[in-house]
Each structure stands twice: as C-alpha cells, then as structure tokens.
Amino acid sequence: MRPIIVTAGPLTSASATNIRTASGVAGAGNLTLNGSLVTAGVAILDAARRILFTTTANETTKTILLAGTNWAGDLISETVTLVNASTVASVLDYKTVTSAYCSATLTGNLSIGTNGVASSPWVMFDSWASPAIALQVAVSGTANYTVQQSLDDPNDPTNPVAAASMAWVNSSDTNVVGVAATAQSNYAFAPRYARILLNSGSGTATATFIQAESVSL
C-alpha cells in the first residue's frame, strides 16, 4: 500500500468571538454570525478545526444545531448541548460554518469562536489487506498531538455511525499520545479509520501511514 500522509495544523490563534460576538438570544432560530471570520453570513476558517461555544449563564437545556463544511468541502453538522457559564466545543472539525440554530431563548449571552484543537483528515484502511500498519508522526514547530483510531464507520452498509457520534480512541502506544516530538508506532490490527488530533500549538503534526500489501490468495 502506498503511504498515506495527513497533517493537522498549523492553526491561527484561537478566538472565542471570531464567529459570533457575545450577545443574547431572544428565541429559537438561526443565530446571526457576525465575527471577524464571517463574510456574507458564512464563517471561513483558516483550517478545519473545532468550534467553541461560550455561555455566561446556565444553558444546559439548550442546544445548537451547527452546520458547515469539513476539510474536503463535504457538508457536516452536529448538535451541541450548551453548558453552565463555561465553554463547550464541537466534536467535528469545520472549515466553514454556514449556520448555527439555537433551540430556545438563552438566559445569558452566547459567543461562538475557535479553540486550539483540530483533527487531520481521516485515514481509511483496507479491510482486505494485511492488517499490519506502520505509522510515523513528524512535528514541525510547536505541536502537541495524539494518534487516534476508530472502528466506527459512517458508510457502513448495515451499522452506520454518524460522524459526530463516532468513538475515537487514543492509541494504546503512549509514545504517540499527548506528545510534542516526532515518533513512530504501529498497528498489529487495522482499525477502520485513524487520524491525528492536534491538542495544542502553532506548528504541525504530519502523519504517514503505511499498510502492508494485500493478503495473498
């Protein structure tokens, strides 16, 4: 199998208000997106990354239906449950945000922005090939990353799992979990997908995955 290379980062500085500045919400409906990243009602981000919601009151019974596109331009969406005077982030990575629908009137103010977390594009492995996989993550600049994998598949013909509901599990190899240096690892058995989670930093983490050749007949 030819090498597959994916990168997480670099990200511009996070801002809690670059998609929507802090203000109240008077009722259910689409929120006005008015932050510095917004043009003609659409927030265009520097890279696909997590979206941050900040509340100033207890909004735990309220939700936001977030919609936009990912790194490939595919339409994505998820429902985010708001929190009690704190922050909560999306689980998907958005290159654009096209809408944010609030379920009800909010008690306090709400702002929408970005944090310093992002995932690489997902790498899908060949279920018909040998399961052995070698991987290497190269760090450029300052970047803390984690290798993650999932057995869930949104495209499974019998048991699909929505992208926002997939279980992503940290690698069992601690050499590639929460680290800031170049490292190598491997999988003895192939997961369905793998990715790099950029936890923090202004640099990049670039992963190369190589799966063994097809199984002989």
Read off the pLDDT of residues 47-104 as tens digits, 9 standing for 90 and up.
Answer: 999 999 999 999 999 999 999 999 999 999 999 999 999 999 999 999 999 999 999 9
CA gap 19, 50 in Å, rounded:
12
Are 169 and 184 in contact by the 8 Å Cβ rule? The answer is no
Read off the pLDDT of residues 107-146 as tens digits, 9 standing for 90 and up.
Answer: 999 999 999 999 999 999 998 888 999 999 999 999 999 9
Residue 217's pLDDT is: 55
Nearest in space to 58 (alpha carbons), one of 81, 79, 83: 83
Are 148 and 123 in contact by the 8 Å Cβ rule? The answer is no
CA gap 75, 66 in Å, rounded:
11
Is the pLDDT assigned to residue 166 strictly greater than 80?
Answer: yes
The mean pLDDT of the chain is 96
The pTM of the full predicted model, rounded to 2 decimals, is 0.94
CA gap 13, 67 in Å, rounded:
22
Read off the pLDDT of residues 181-201 as tens digits, 9 standing for 90 and up.
Answer: 999 999 999 999 999 999 999
Nearest in space to 49 (alpha carbons), one of 90, 6, 3: 90
Nearest in space to 150 (alpha carbons), one of 166, 134, 129, 127: 166
Residue 130's pLDDT is: 86
